[in-house]
Amino acid sequence: MGSNALYIRDPEVDALATMLQRQTDAPSKTEAVRNALGHELERNRTNVPLRDRIARLQAEAVRIGLPNPDFDMKKFTDEMWED
């Protein structure tokens, strides 16, 4: 994905990243920021009401569509195991 370098131009943000790296014993500022961003994304995801998350999943399922009713799972499995 690219280098591990994290270029932060804002001195305050750089200082915060350094403090976070030290407090979390992260191997790098990049890793500290990656973990912090991941935690923040997860926190925001869980702030979305369950009803809204379910609605998004249902809409995605509708977009994908139903499985093929003519699909023969036994035949498919048998073909996979043949030599």
What is the per-residue pLDDT across 36-74, written as a single tens digit (0 to 9) for each? Answer: 999 999 998 888 899 998 999 999 999 999 888 899 999
pLDDT at 16: 94
| Site of tokens 């990049």 | 30
pLDDT at 47: 87
Answer yes or no: is pLDDT of 76 > 80. yes
% of residues, the chain, pLDDT over 70 = 92
d(CA 6, CA 29) in angstroms, rounded, equals 7
Q: Decide if 30 contacts 5 (C-beta within 8 A).
A: yes
Please tell me what DSSP assigns to residue 59: H
**Per-domain boundaries in the chain:** 11-81
